[in-house]
């Protein structure tokens, strides 16, 4: 492989993780918009779904950023996805994924599938508030690791 091929591969990888982050931001901004929109009743389950999607796509951006050799896991469990880069984060950046971050990820994972179907999950206002805060925190955390500017979140 010549140097040009390595640069092309690196550029493709950068483009891919930036796309994952762009989609994560869209989901997060959609959740914030829906939370403040004048819907009656507010679509609490859909807001939480978008929060989960933001965190999931942020975690997948991190996987691409570090060049996960096993490919992209086709899974919605945010904790599982973060654990895919746990050792790489420790080795390359000296970053430990804390228990608090994994608890946030776990709390969001339940919104990955169930809110899309009737009578699968009961979501209340406090769930929405926590989902917005947790997904915003995870997304900011991912972007700081990658070195991109933070997005405004519910915790900012």
Q: Which three-class secondary structure string do you get for 135-150?
A: HHHHHHHHHHHHCCCC
Tell me the average pLDDT of the chain: 86
Whether residue 152 lies inside any domain: the answer is no
- pLDDT > 90 in the chain, percent: 58
pLDDT beyond 60 at 155 = no
What pLDDT is attached to residue 150? 45
Rg (CA), the chain: 16
Q: What confidence category does residue 4 fall into, taking pLDDT thresholds of 50, 70 and 90?
A: low
Whether residue 155 lies inside any domain: the answer is no
| Euclidean distance between the first and the last CA atom of the chain, given in angstroms as a whole number | 45
Whether residue 67 lies inside any domain: the answer is yes
Q: What is the pLDDT of residues 67-94, one digit of tens each?
A: 865 667 788 899 999 998 888 888 888 8
What pLDDT is attached to residue 151? 47
pLDDT beyond 80 at 116 = no
Q: What is the pLDDT of residues 11-60, one digit of tens each?
A: 678 888 999 999 999 999 999 999 999 988 899 999 999 999 999 999 99
What pLDDT is attached to residue 74? 83
How many angstroms separate the CA atoms of 71 and 24, rounded?
19
Q: Where are the alpha helices (DSSP H) in the chain?
A: 3-36, 44-65, 78-83, 86-88, 99-109, 125-146
Whether residue 154 lies inside any domain: the answer is no
- pLDDT > 70 in the chain, percent: 84
Decide if 54 contacts 25 (C-beta within 8 A): yes
Decide if 21 contacts 146 (C-beta within 8 A): yes
Give me the CATH number covering residue 56.
1.20.120.330
Whether residue 117 lies inside any domain: the answer is yes
Question: With 0-12 CB in 10 A as exposed, 13-18 as middle and 19+ as buried, what is 5?
Answer: exposed
Domains of the chain: total: 1
Q: What is the mean pLDDT of residues 139-146?
A: 92
Which tokens go with 138?
Answer: 């995870």
Whether residue 36 lies inside any domain: the answer is yes
The parent domain of residue 11 ranges over: 3-146
Residue 24 DSSP symbol:
H
What pLDDT is attached to residue 147? 83
Whether residue 74 lies inside any domain: the answer is yes
Whether residue 156 lies inside any domain: the answer is no
């Amino acid at each position: 492989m010549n140097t040009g091929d390595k640069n092309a591969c690196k550029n493709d990888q950068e483009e891919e993780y930036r796309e994952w982050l762009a989609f994560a931001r869209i989901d997060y901004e959609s959740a914030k918009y829906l939370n403040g929109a004048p819907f009656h009743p507010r679509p609490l389950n859909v807001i939480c779904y978008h929060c989960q999607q933001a965190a999931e796509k942020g975690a997948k951006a991190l996987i691409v950023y570090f060049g996960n050799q096993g490919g992209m896991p086709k899974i919605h469990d945010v904790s599982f996805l973060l654990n895919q880069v746990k050792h790489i984060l420790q080795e390359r950046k000296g970053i430990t994924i804390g228990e608090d971050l994994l608890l946030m990820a776990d709390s969001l994972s339940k919104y990955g599938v169930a809110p899309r179907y009737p009578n699968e999950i009961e979501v209340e206002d406090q769930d929405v508030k926590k989902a917005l805060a947790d997904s915003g925190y995870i997304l900011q955390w991912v972007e700081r690791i990658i070195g991109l500017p933070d997005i405004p979140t519910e915790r900012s």
